[in-house]
Structure 1
Amino acid sequence: MRTQQLLYAAAGVVVFIMLLLVGWGLSHRGERPAPARGGFVSAVERAQAATVMLTVSGSGGNNDGAPMQMGSGFVVSADGLVVTAAHVTGAIPVVNLVFADGTVARAELVGADESVDVAVFRATPGRQLTALSFADSNQVKAGQPVVLMGAPYGLVGTATSGIVSAVNRQIGAPMDEDDPFAGAALRGPVKAYLQTDAALTAGGSGGPLLNAAGQVIGMASARESRGEPGAGLAFAIPSNVVRDVIERVKAAPQPQPTPR
């Protein structure tokens, strides 16, 4: 008799829990999960403060001394380290950095690895800078949302969005007949790019490619459009490659100023 009573009591508890679950489901029917707080807004705001346009005066036949747009870059340490694509600046040792708030700082080349298209500059802005952090590019997945920051056409702090279209995109040598990009506009030393459909336009090379948390997963390096207006694929150097160059540059002995 006691066993039967216990079974009835247990059954009653189960029914009660099921009714609670059904009631909760009905009350929340149609609700969608809340988006991450701020979405990409906070990530873009921080990245705008850390993204720069790199310029140099009086180059390229520009005789009036006005700055000439070169490309984009971003701050990677609060004390002034800035990274960009090596092809953006070439071997130029000194550039000007233009921030989104209009301030300008001088920066000197401290190291580069042209084999992976990464150059590192050090700025002396006289203030602490907003810096971006890196994520592990080995964890990047095709389909994840991304934002590409840069200074296309001199518009510093421009954000474009899209998804990661492919990872580990292999690009062979320029004359490789088996390379689908052979004979096309795309050229670059990196053999494993992140591919994205986020818009990359003139002056945007060197800008950071960000994940939803605002971390850098890549750096814009190349674009292929095959001459089709409004079309194009963007390719970014994986963040692990960029970070490795930065660490090697920081560890290398720096030249000391010549005593006067």
Structure 2
Amino acid sequence: MSQNTDERYGLGEPRGPDFAPAPPPQGWSSGQVPPASWAAPVLPAAAGGGRGARLLVAAVLTAALVGGAAGAAAGWATGDRAAAPLAQSTAGPANGPGDLSDVAARVQPSVVSVEVRTGSGRGGGSGFVIDRAGHILTNAHVVEGAAEVGVVLSDRRRLTARVLGALPDQDLAVLSISPSDSPSPLVFGRSADVRVGDPVMALGSPLGLAGTVTGGMVSALDREVRLGDGGRRTALQTDASINPGNSGGPLVNARGEVIGVNTAIATLSRGGGGGSIGIGFAIPVDRAVDGAQRIIR
């Protein structure tokens, strides 16, 4: 993917999941190339400042949050505003209609582009408003090493944001903006109501293209992947197109409720240079809600 060498996009940075390689199919020797269906996909890592066009294999990178976000890496924060309750639906499973345009129009104003300046360049990702106190949820790897963080709203207003806190092992971070400038929060769904085959939409800023909406379905539940600084965790799998820059954006159901936080994709290439192949992963909503509340408190 072509992009400026002094920029990086959130998806595919060191916090994404990978797969432990499965044993080669019976009859295949170590010198043979296995079929694509056996290949163990890893995440694409975008180019960073000072690294030129070099690609990083996400599976082997385990850097902790540094720089401006170092204080947030502990997973706690002393916020200057009281924690506001996060709205969570009790409506049960969402049976999606064929046309989701009204849902997209309702959700988009609450989704933001995250812009990050580090000591070595610029980067970014996505995020979304979670309460009326000006809190925005994103991925920890999006704000890793941040010296300055800003958000761009759907109406193109640029606001300065503060990293309130982060949980690198969960790949979650919360940003803070002025409540008076904050769009309306999204409503969270519940993990127990998510089913394989449910229609979903991923919203965010892939490759910096703000306001992008892609559609698909829930491909699998409880897919075990490597996520964040911790060990292997379960994630939602979706075939909604997710690309670098979508990290931290919401995965929503047919009612516009957040059911996951888009985090990473898999590719067939060990070099990780490809985009979406229809295998994306999102942090399940219940874990995202718990992590956000831990940071805000």
Select 2:151's aligned residue among 90, 97, 111.
97
Q: Aligned letter for 1:191? A: R
Percent identity, please.
Answer: 36
- Compare the two structures and name the one with the higher helix fraction: 1
**Partner secondary structure for residue 103 of structure 2:** helix
Which residues of structure 2 form unaligned runs of 5+?
1-94
Q: Which residue is 2:112 aligned to?
A: 52
Select 1:231's aligned residue among 277, 281, 286.
277
Q: Which residue is 1:221 aligned to?
A: 263
Q: Structure 1: how far apart are the matches of 2:230 and 2:169? A: 9
Judge which range, 74-83 or 121-130, deviates more.
121-130
Is the 1:55–1:97 contact (alpha carbons within 8 Å) kept by the matching residues of 2? yes
Select 2:198's aligned residue among 144, 149, 156.
144
Select 2:236's aligned residue among 184, 191, 194.
194
Q: Aligned letter for 1:217? A: I
CA 187–128 in structure 1, closer or farther in 2 if over 3 Å, else same: closer
Select 2:124's aligned residue among 62, 67, 70.
70
Is the 2:168–2:229 contact (alpha carbons within 8 Å) kept by the matching residues of 1? no
Give the Å deviation of 1:156: 1.4
Give the Å deviation of 1:36: 7.1
Give the Å deviation of 1:89: 1.0
Q: Structure 2: how far apart are the matches of 1:50 and 1:171? A: 28
Q: Structure 1: how far apart are the matches of 2:192 and 2:145? A: 30
Q: Which residue is 2:209 aligned to?
A: 155
Q: Aligned letter for 1:219? A: V
Instruction: Normalising by structure 2, report the TM-score.
Output: 0.61
Q: Aligned letter for 1:55? A: E
RMSD after superposition: 2.5
Q: Aligned letter for 1:54? A: V
Is the 2:132–2:184 contact (alpha carbons within 8 Å) kept by the matching residues of 1? yes
Is the 2:152–2:159 contact (alpha carbons within 8 Å) kept by the matching residues of 1? yes
Q: Structure 2: how far apart are the matches of 1:70 and 1:144? A: 29
Is the 2:151–2:159 contact (alpha carbons within 8 Å) kept by the matching residues of 1? yes
Which residues of structure 1 form unaligned runs of 5+?
1-34, 62-67, 174-185, 252-260
Q: Which has the higher contact order (CA 8 A, sep 6+)?
A: 2
Q: Structure 1: how far apart are the matches of 2:275 and 2:146? A: 32
**Partner secondary structure for residue 162 of structure 1:** strand
Is the 1:47–1:157 contact (alpha carbons within 8 Å) kept by the matching residues of 2? no
Is the 2:150–2:158 contact (alpha carbons within 8 Å) kept by the matching residues of 1? yes
Q: Paired residues, what number?
A: 199
Select 1:119's aligned residue among 173, 196, 210.
173
Q: Structure 2: how far apart are the matches of 1:188 and 1:146? A: 27
Q: Which residue is 2:246 aligned to?
A: 204
Q: Which protein is bigger by CA-based radius of gyration?
A: 1
Select 1:110's aligned residue among 152, 157, 164.
164
Q: Structure 1: how far apart are the matches of 2:208 and 2:104? A: 17
- What are the superposed Cα offsets for residues 104-135 of structure 1, whole Å, 9 maximum, x if unpaired? 11111111111111000111263342211100
Q: Structure 2: how far apart are the matches of 1:241 and 1:140? A: 13
Is the 2:119–2:147 contact (alpha carbons within 8 Å) kept by the matching residues of 1? no
Q: Which residue is 1:247 aligned to?
A: 293
Instruction: Normalising by structure 1, report the TM-score.
Output: 0.69
